[in-house]
Chain A
Amino acid sequence: MGAVMKRAPGDGERQSKALEAVTGLIREQVVPPTTAELQYGLQGLFARLAEGDARRRGGRWRWSFAGLGTAAVLAVVALAVVRPRLQTTAAPSLPALTYQVHGGSLIAGGYLRESGGDGIKLSFSEGTEFVLMPGTHGRLRSVGASGARIAIEQGTAYFQVTPNSGRTWLVDVGPFLVTVKGTVFTVSWDPLRERFELRLRRGRVAVSGPVSGGDIVLRDGQRLTVDLPGAQTLITEDQDKGGKGLAGKGEGAHAPPSATRAEFEPPRLAPAGPAETASPGRGRAGAAPAGRPARTERPLRWSEALASGDWDAILADADRVGVREILDGASSEDLFALADAARYRRRLDLAREALLAQRRRFSASTRASDAAFLLGRVEEAGGGDSARALRWYDEYLARAPAGTYASEALGRRMTLIKQREGATRARPIAEEYLRRFPQGTYAGSARALLH
């Protein structure tokens, strides 16, 4: 794109229409909160107001610390002034997280491999602990100064997250995403029964995923159970978690089957031998498989470039380093970033190759399953053989029946079958789609097929 662009007649109108289209899309996506969401929010508000009352009662302490606070602010300001000059050496204000793995090791793709049959424990430098119960399959997806992201693909895990407003902890549990504040909770996912359960001992988490009514925010002592095949979402509470202070005046407390405290206890893991220590700088999730020479360091972080919309920079970087070398040596994360950038720029052959490399080199990963779906999209975008796209969607649905793209894969399958074989053959898929995703993107098309 040239640096100097002359505006053609009609550009203003096109821009205005484009802006309307995008903002309209956002308005369409933001739906008013449900009654249940409002109720959860109100409970949280009462709890916060009660906390505020308690803090005000201890307010005199604040004045004793006022001088100390002012000194801290001055120090931060001084640091901000000096920092630009020290940019290459200064430490960020949030220290980088390091972690130790006990009872197992971190292998290619961030997978956590258990070694002793007692589960795996990750201890982070600022006190947060993740414990994967024996037999649980999990993957450390990323660790940075701003927090970490872990995926639980099967089994049960315990989390004790140290509160820190500057860090974000995300837990992918099957098709669900748990956004964690400072908290203690246990989560489990059974992929065969498609059953999700989260028991929150204290703190607050938000759960998003295929549950009706959007995100669910859980508070102290609540338990969320989602049975996907039965389309059931159940939230229960501990009996001993009654309201207090102003919180006690809130509306609508839930009825209470309880979870015992013992269920929250983490397994006791003896540090088996020297723990594997890692930091974001080395051995992080997505590193090259063991035995493979580390890839050449590239100054550009592709995931960041992708997030910034700089996909041309990613493609130029790949061309500079050599596509073949990238396909053979890049991390899973980078391969995905390359595939995304290539899709956005309609370099479909490159997108296809990156996705195929993802499947070949990281075949056990969730990204490999996701790649199957995206390969279907690439086939369709290229106007190629729809039978090939269908095979990719079938593959994805077989590997990840409740995966992130399950709704879209099934929807695309329904659409392609209708185009290729007619409405009669597509109707059973439409029925299945409506049963599983009544609010999904393709629900309208499915209903139209059935009526």
Chain B
Amino acid sequence: MAVQNPDTPVSRLVPSDRRGISDQEVARGLTSGEAWAVAEAWHRFAPMVLTVAERSLGSKSEAQDVAQEVFCRLYAKVHTLREPAALRSFVFSFAVRVLKSELRRRKARAWLSFHRPETLIELGAGTLDVEGRDLLRRFYGLLDRLSTEDRLVFALRHLESMTVEEVAETMSLSVSTVKRRLAHGTKRFDRFLEREPELARLLDGKGWGRS
């Protein structure tokens, strides 16, 4: 069985008191347009945004584009932040919104071009063998066929290990809507399982190419 990382809660991805500066101070620095605050916010929160985006999109380079967009929007909108201590969740909500836009743009592109682009899987570690990459390509192909909101709900719940309530709050949805969207995604995953021969190997604990 491939060694799996335990769930990595978003809050653990970066230390909260890097260089002893609080989130409130960073938020105030951003509001005043201080360059050090931009750099500090980036170092503090970019790993979280990059990780969420890469897991959701299946692409490291697209995740980098998303992160750039998130921090540009953050810089432009930080003055609307009422509670400076809540900077982390403010950034995360921007990340989810930008991800939603990116996924919608992808769908529109596919629709307008009459062509379903090949799902390119480009995850950072790059330690999977060809069968493992194929499996993930097909899994992200499945996610591509979900609606934008279904996909984000599915990703936040299953890839980010957020609770249903956290997903609902992050996406400004009701708990019952989140549950309905999750059920839809899960149904699609069921069908994926029926057709997925390689998954049996993963479940049998053999992993890929590690014998």
- Chain A interfacial positions (CB closer than 8 Å to B): 1, 5, 14-15, 17-19, 21-33, 38, 41-42, 44-46, 48-49, 52, 92-94, 144-146, 166, 168, 179, 206, 208, 214-215, 217, 246, 249-251, 303-304, 306-309, 312, 340, 344-346, 373-374, 377, 405, 408, 411-412, 415, 439-442, 444-445
Contacts and interface: CB of A to CB of B under 8 A. Distances in A.
Interface of B: 2-5, 7-8, 13, 35-36, 38-39, 42-43, 46-47, 50-51, 54-55, 58, 60-61, 64, 67-68, 71-72, 75-76, 109, 112-119, 122-132, 134-139, 141-142, 145, 158-159, 186, 189-190, 192-195, 197-199, 202-203, 208-211
A198 to B, nearest CB: 15
B210 A441 contact: yes
Contacts of A415: 211
B35 A30 contact: no
B203 A26 contact: no
Dominant secondary structure at the A interface: helix
Dominant secondary structure at the B interface: helix
Contacts of A5: 194
Contact of B113 (A94, A215, A251, A377): A94
A308 to B, nearest CB: 6
A92 B114 CA distance: 7
A442 B197 contact: no
Contact of A249 (B35, B115, B139, B209): B35
* 10 closest cross-chain pairs (CB), A and B: A24-B4, A249-B35, A29-B123, A206-B61, A307-B118, A93-B112, A214-B124, A29-B125, A31-B124, A145-B113
B32 to A, nearest CB: 13
A166 B64 contact: no
A23 B128 contact: no
29 contacts: A14-B193, A21-B4, A22-B135, A22-B139, A23-B158, A25-B202, A27-B5, A27-B55, A28-B5, A28-B125, A29-B123, A29-B124, A29-B128, A38-B42, A41-B64, A42-B38, A46-B35, A52-B75, A93-B112, A144-B115, A146-B109, A208-B122, A215-B61, A215-B64, A246-B35, A405-B130, A408-B209, A411-B209, A441-B128
A60 B126 CA distance: 47
A411 B134 CA distance: 18
B142 to A, nearest CB: 7
Contact of A214 (B112, B126, B130): B126
Contact of A94 (B112, B127, B203): B112
Nearest to A245: B35
Given A29-B123, A215-B61, A408 B139 contact: no
B113 A340 contact: no
A312 B194 CA distance: 13
Contacts of A445: 210-211
Nearest to A94: B113
A350 B47 CA distance: 45
Contacts of B190: 15
Given A145-B113, A246-B38, A309-B195, 10 more contacts: A19-B189, A30-B123, A32-B51, A38-B47, A42-B46, A48-B68, A48-B72, A146-B109, A179-B61, A307-B137
Contacts of B139: 22, 26
Contact of B64 (A23, A206, A312): A206
B123 to A, nearest CB: 4
Nearest to B60: A215
Identify the interface centre among A22, A312, A445: most chain B CB within 10 Å of its CB. Answer: A22
A430 to B, nearest CB: 14
